[in-house]
C-alpha cells in the first residue's frame, strides 16, 4: 500500500464521539455541506444521487399501490392553515410567515408549508363530490420548512425534502387499510433497499401527528442505540374532512364526510443510513441505493500499463452498463489513497484492475462491509458482481438486526431503563397501562420517549412499568433523534 497515513484520521472515532463522527462523515464524503442560510444544508451531488435512488424505489412502490403524483403550492394562506385547530396548534411554533411581497404588505399572511394537509385537502373538497371520485390517491414530492431551533445535518434541518401521500376514502375501513398498507411499504422499502430493519407500531397520543386520530410509524435503531422514526402513516378519521368540508354523495344518496390519510418519508432517512451502517472508516452505502455500486480503481506504473488497463476497464464498463452502477476513479491519486477514499465514501464494492490482472483476464473485487477479496474472471463480472452486491445487502441487514437485538431489553420497571441507560442505549420493551402520565414519567426519569406500541412481539398481559396497574399492551421506549 502507498502512504495513506493520516487519511482516515479525518473522521472522528465513532465510539469516542458519535455526533462528531456523524458530522465528519457527511462533510468528508461530500454528501452535504452547511449553507449560508442558518439551519439549512446543501445536499451535494453524491448525497443527491443517493436520494434520487431512494426516491425511485419509493416512487415505484407508490405507483404499484395505485397512487399518482401531483404538485401543490409552497404557500398556505393563514385561513386554511387554521381550519383544523389541533393541526395548526401543533405546527404553529415552527411556521415561517410571509407578510410582505412585491413591495406590499399582504392582505393575508402566507405560511410556508410545514406539511401540506391544509392546501391539498382544500383542493380535495372541490374534487370529491361523489363516491365515484373515491378513493383519491395522490402523492407529492416536495420540500417543506419547519423552523427548528437546533438543527442537525439530514436529521433536523429547517428545510428538507420528502414525499407526502394524501388520500381520501369512502369508508373508515378503506382508509385504515391504506394507512397500514403504506406503513408496510415503508417497512418493505427500508429493508429491501436500505438494508434497514424497522419495527412497525402505533404512536401514543402524546407522540402522534398534530391533528391525527392515530399515527403509525416504522422505527429504526441507529448505531448509538437511539431510535429514528423512518416513516409515518396517519389516520385522520373524518376530522380533516369535516374541517375542510370533503363530503360526497354516497351510493345510497346520502351526503357523507370522507375519511382521509397521509403518510411521509424524508431525507432524514439518509441520516438513518449513515448512522445505521457507518463505521470508523466512514460510510457504508446499502448496495441497492448506492450512487456507485462498484468503483473501479485502475492500477498502473507507466503509460504502457495505463493503456492496457484503460482498454480492459473500458471493456468492463461496457459490459456492466445497465447491470450495476459503476464509477472509475481515474484521478491522479495513488491506488492506496483511492482505496481509502472509496472505503470512506462507502462504495459497496471496489474493483481493482492492474496489468497482471489484465494478463490473467481477471479483476479483484473487495467488499466494503467485510473487506473480503475475490478474484473474478473479467468475463464473469456481469454475473458475479450483482451476486456479491446481494450478499453485501443481506449481510448489512443481518448485522443491523443483530445489533438491534443486542441492544434491546425487556424490562418491568422504569428504574431498569435508567440503570441500563447509564451503560448503553437501546430499545426497552415494557408493559404500559396507556396513561400519558406514566409515559411522561419514563421520559422525565430516563429521557426515553415512547417510540411505538409494536404490532408484533409485545405481551398483552403485565403490570405497567411505572404505576404497576394492569397493562394490556407493550410499548417500546428509547432515546430518539
Q: Which stretch binds Zn ion (CB under 5 A): 45-53, 199-207, 355-363, 436-444?
A: 436-444
| Residue 283 or 430 with smaller CB distance to Zn ion | 430
Distance CA 92, CA 96 (A): 9
Please list, in sequence order, all residues whose beta carbon lies within 8 angstroms of the beta carbon of residue 347, skipping any fewer than 6 positions away: 285, 290, 292, 293, 294, 295, 327, 368
**Which pairing describes strands 247-249 and 227-235: parallel, antiparallel, or unpaired?**
unpaired
Residue 98: strand pairing partners: 110
CB closer to Zn ion out of 295 and 464: 464
464 binds Zn ion (CB under 5 A): yes
- Read off the C-alpha cell for 48: 443527491
The span of 141-149, 158-166, 206-214, 464-472 binding Zn ion (CB under 5 A) equals 464-472
- Using the rule CB under 5 A, give the single segment among 123-131, 322-330, 377-385, 433-441 that binds Zn ion: 433-441
Size of the site for Zn ion (CB under 5 A): 6
| Helical (H) or strand (E) element with 454 | strand 449-454
Query: Which of 4, 214, 376, 467 is the binder for Zn ion (CB under 5 A)?
Result: 467
Q: How far is the CB of 461 from Zn ion (least distance, A)?
A: 14
Nearer to Zn ion, 247 or 435 (CB): 435
Nearer to Zn ion, 334 or 468 (CB): 468
Residue 433 in contact with Zn ion, rule: CB under 5 A: yes
- Find the shortest distance in angstroms from Cβ 409 to Zn ion: 19
Q: Which is nearer to Zn ion, 122 or 204 (CB)?
A: 204
Position 466 contacts Zn ion (CB under 5 A):
yes
CB of 214 to Zn ion, least distance (A): 20
Q: How many CB atoms sit inside 10 A of residue 426's CB?
A: 24
Kindly tell me which of 266 and 474 has the beta carbon lying closer to Zn ion: 474
Instruction: Name 434's Cβ contacts closer than 8 Å, sequence gap at least 6.
Output: 471, 473
Rg (CA), the chain: 25
Q: How far is the CB of 448 from Zn ion (least distance, A)?
A: 15
Residue 438 in the binding site for Zn ion (CB under 5 A): yes
The SS3 assignment for 169 reads strand
Q: In what order do the strands lie in the sheet with 104-112?
A: 75-77, 104-112, 97-101
**Binding piece for Zn ion, criterion CB under 5 A, among 227-235, 275-283, 363-371, 432-440:** 432-440
**How far is it, in rounded angstroms, from Cα 295 to Cα 152?**
30
Listing DSSP states for 367-389 in one string gives ETTT--EEEEEGGGHHHHHHHHH
Span interacting with Zn ion, options 143-151, 244-252, 318-326, 467-475, rule CB under 5 A: 467-475
SS3 category, 181: helix
d(CA 152, CA 228): 13
In terms of CB distance, is 229 or 474 closer to Zn ion?
Answer: 474
Q: Cβ-count burial of 145 within 10 angstroms (0-12 exposed, 13-18 middle, 19+ buried)?
A: buried
Task: Extract the C-alpha cell encoding 88.
Answer: 395548526
> In angstroms, what is the minimal distance from the CB of 36 to Zn ion?
49
Q: Which is nearer to Zn ion, 112 or 464 (CB)?
A: 464
Binding part of the chain for Zn ion, among 26-34, 68-76, 425-433, 473-481 by CB under 5 A, reads: 425-433
Q: What are phi and psi of 160, to 5 degrees?
A: -145, 165
**What's the number of CA atoms in the CB half-sphere (13 Å) around residue 136?**
26
Site for Zn ion in 283-312 (CB under 5 A): none
Nearer to Zn ion, 45 or 436 (CB): 436
Span of 91-99, 261-269, 330-338, 457-465 interacting with Zn ion by CB under 5 A: 457-465
Q: Which residues bind Zn ion (CB under 5 A)?
A: 433, 435, 438, 464, 466-467
Amino acid at each position: 500500500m502507498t502512504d495513506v497515513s493520516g487519511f482516515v484520521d479525518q473522521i472522528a472515532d465513532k465510539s469516542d464521539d458519535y455526533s462528531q463522527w456523524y458530522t465528519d462523515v457527511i462533510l468528508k464524503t461530500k454528501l452535504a455541506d452547511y449553507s449560508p442560510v442558518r439551519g439549512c444544508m446543501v445536499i451535494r451531488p453524491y448525497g443527491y444521487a443517493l436520494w434520487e435512488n431512494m426516491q425511485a424505489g419509493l416512487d415505484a412502490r407508490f405507483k404499484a399501490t395505485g397512487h399518482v403524483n401531483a404538485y401543490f403550492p409552497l404557500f398556505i394562506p393563514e385561513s386554511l392553515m387554521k381550519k383544523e385547530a389541533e393541526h395548526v396548534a401543533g405546527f404553529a411554533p415552527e411556521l415561517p410567515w410571509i407578510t410582505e411581497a412585491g413591495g406590499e404588505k399582504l392582505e393575508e399572511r402566507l405560511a410556508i408549508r410545514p406539511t401540506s394537509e391544509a392546501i391539498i385537502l382544500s383542493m380535495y373538497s372541490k374534487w370529491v363530490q361523489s363516491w365515484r371520485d373515491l378513493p383519491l390517491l395522490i402523492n407529492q414530492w416536495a420540500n417543506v420548512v419547519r423552523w427548528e431551533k437546533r438543527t442537525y445535518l439530514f436529521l433536523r434541518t429547517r428545510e428538507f425534502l420528502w414525499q407526502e401521500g394524501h388520500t381520501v376514502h369512502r369508508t373508515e375501513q378503506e382508509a385504515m387499510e391504506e394507512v397500514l398498507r403504506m406503513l408496510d411499504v415503508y417497512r418493505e422499502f427500508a429493508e429491501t433497499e436500505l438494508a434497514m430493519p424497522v419495527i412497525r407500531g402505533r404512536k401514543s397520543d402524546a407522540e402522534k401527528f398534530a391533528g391525527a386520530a392515530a399515527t403509525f410509524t416504522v422505527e429504526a435503531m441507529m448505531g448509538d442505540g437511539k431510535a429514528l422514526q423512518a416513516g409515518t402513516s396517519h389516520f385522520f378519521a373524518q376530522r380533516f374532512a369535516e374541517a375542510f368540508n370533503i363530503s360526497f354523495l354516497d351510493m345510497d344518496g346520502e351526503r357523507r364526510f370522507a375519511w382521509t390519510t397521509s403518510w411521509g418519508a424524508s431525507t432524514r432517512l439518509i441520516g438513518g443510513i449513515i448512522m445505521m451502517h457507518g463505521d470508523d472508516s466512514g460510510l457504508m452505502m446499502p448496495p441497492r441505493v448506492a450512487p456507485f455500486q462498484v468503483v473501479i480503481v485502475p492500477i498502473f506504473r507507466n503509460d504502457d500499463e495505463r493503456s492496457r488497463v484503460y482498454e480492459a476497464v473500458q471493456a468492463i464498463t461496457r459490459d456492466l452498463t445497465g447491470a450495476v452502477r459503476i464509477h472509475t476513479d481515474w484521478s491522479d491519486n495513488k491506488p492506496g489513497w483511492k482505496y481509502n477514499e472509496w472505503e470512506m465514501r462507502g462504495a459497496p464494492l471496489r474493483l481493482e484492475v492492474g496489468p497482471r490482472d489484465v494478463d490473467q483476464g481477471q479483476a479483484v473485487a473487495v467488499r466494503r462491509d467485510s473487506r473480503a477479496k475475490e478474484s473474478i474472471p473479467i468475463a464473469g463480472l456481469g454475473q458475479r458482481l450483482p451476486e456479491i452486491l446481494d450478499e453485501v445487502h443481506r449481510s448489512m441487514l443481518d448485522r443491523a438486526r443483530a445489533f438491534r437485538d443486542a441492544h434491546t431489553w425487556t424490562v418491568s420497571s422504569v428504574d431498569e431503563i435508567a440503570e441500563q441507560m447509564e451503560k448503553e442505549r437501546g430499545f426497552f420493551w415494557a408493559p404500559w397501562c396507556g396513561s400519558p402520565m406514566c409515559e411522561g414519567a419514563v421520559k422525565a426519569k430516563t429521557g426515553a420517549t415512547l417510540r411505538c406500541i409494536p404490532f408484533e412481539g409485545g405481551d398483552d398481559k403485565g403490570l405497567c412499568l411505572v404505576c404497576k396497574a394492569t397493562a394490556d399492551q407493550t410499548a417500546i421506549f428509547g432515546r430518539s433523534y
